[in-house]
Amino acid sequence: MNLDLTHEEIEFSQTVEDICKRNFAIDQLRASKGTINRLAWNVLGDSGVFGLCAPESISGLGLPISYAIVVCETMGRFLVPKPVIDSISLAPHVREVLSGAWICSVTSESDGLVVVEHYSDIDALALYRSKGLELIDFADLDVIGAQIPLDPLCPVGRLEDIPTGRVICKGAELTDFIYRHEILRSAYLVGIASQVLELAVQYAKSRNQFSRPIGSFQAIKHLLADGLVRAELARAQLYVAGVTFDEPECGNLERAVYSAKLLATQAAVTNSRTAIQVFGGMGFTWEVDVHLFLKRALLVSGGLVSSEECCELLAGSFYEESLSD
């Protein structure tokens, strides 16, 4: 199992990073108040981002999932609006997202309630139900928006009257979609974990206390070192999940995917909280960006399979294996 990135993957991620710097800088996202810039979205479509996992038969690029992983990791560093994960995951099933013409969101139904992210911008909703993944045209649906969303850069609303959509995948295809979606969510979380750590390190080097940079204090060093270990462990397991997705014979795909989700969630959430602690009183203010990363990490850590469900699935898998031994 080779986890090293290829030269082409590194180059593509650098191209996407340049696009993000120009179109999704944090100041631009703050100014947008959660509205998705369609022109910037189309730039991503023109670069081929949405077609990475889509087969060539529908004009996709048909590349290994490792390309999408490094792209979503880069997106997480810039807090690119979350439908980017959903759109890349849906591209093999929804041709309209390939060019960026459609913005799609993925969600599930819970107790008769459907929560929709970026409801004012999306064109279609992919609703996960037991019988399959349904695609619903979002144009004529009534959504009740939340006044104060958890993530201020991700408006959310709820659907109470839930229509029936067109089933776009089920069975084995649905399982593949769930794995792909959770892997890309994990990549986004790893990007958050790395970026907040970098912000905390920069601040620790520049902030002086008692005539010394606070980064020279042992307590701060330990916080940042632990953060680096969390981020690197999560990235390593993420790459394992990516290789196993493309080459199932390399290992247990279910375990690889859900282990990656757990480690990535822990790294993103804990590193964001650590960054706020390193920033001290400033970390709790609106002006400092680290709180935005924490809120996005909490949002992305959900998904079709929550962290708690990942724990249960992994525990069940190991328990069943122990019974068969």
CA distance 238 to 232: 10
Residue 322 has pLDDT above 90, yes or no: no
Secondary-structure breakdown of the chain: helix, strand, coil percentages, each rounded to the nearest 5: 60, 10, 30
If pLDDT is split at 50, 70 and 90, which confidence band does 1 have? low
- Identify the band that residue 127 occupies on the pLDDT scale cut at 50, 70 and 90: very high
**Residue 126: DSSP 8-state:** E
Sequence-distant (6+) residues with CB within 8 A of 302 are none
Report how far residue 325's alpha carbon sits from residue 322's, in angstroms, rounded to the nearest whole number. Answer: 5
| Mean pLDDT value of segment 286-313 | 90
The pTM of this model reads 0.95
Amino acid residing at 104:
C
- b/e per residue 121-145 (b: at least 16 CB within 10 A): bbbbbbbbeeebbbbbebeebebee
Return the DSSP state at 114. Answer: E
318 Cβ neighbours under 8 A, 6+ residues apart: none
* Cβ contact 20:80 at 8 Å: yes
| Domain spans in the chain, listed from the N-terminal domain onward | 7-169, 172-320
User: pLDDT tens digits for 44-74?
Assistant: 999 999 999 999 999 899 999 999 999 999 9
CA distance 138 to 299: 22
If one compares 307 and 267, the residue with the highest pLDDT of the two is: 267
Structure tokens at 261: 């989700």
Counting every residue written for the chain, the total comes to 325
Under 8 Å CB-to-CB from 244, ≥6 apart: which residues?
250, 251, 252, 253, 256, 257
Residue 9 or 139, more confident: 9
Q: What is the DSSP letter of 250?
A: G
Q: Quick one: CA dihedral 71, 57, 303, 126, positive or negative?
A: positive
Tokens standing for residue 304: 């079709």
> What pLDDT is recorded for position 64?
93
Q: What is the pLDDT of residues 22-52, one digit of tens each?
A: 999 999 999 998 999 999 999 999 999 999 9
Alpha-helical segments (H) within 247-279: 253-279
User: Could you name the CATH architecture of 7-169?
Assistant: Orthogonal Bundle (1.10)
What is the CATH code for 172-320?
Answer: 1.20.140.10
- Fill in the DSSP letter of residue 170: -
C-alpha angle 251-254-264 in degrees, rounded to nearest 5: 100
E strand map for 50-198 = 104-110, 113-117, 124-129, 132-137, 144-145, 156-159, 166-169
The helix/strand/coil state of 86 is helix
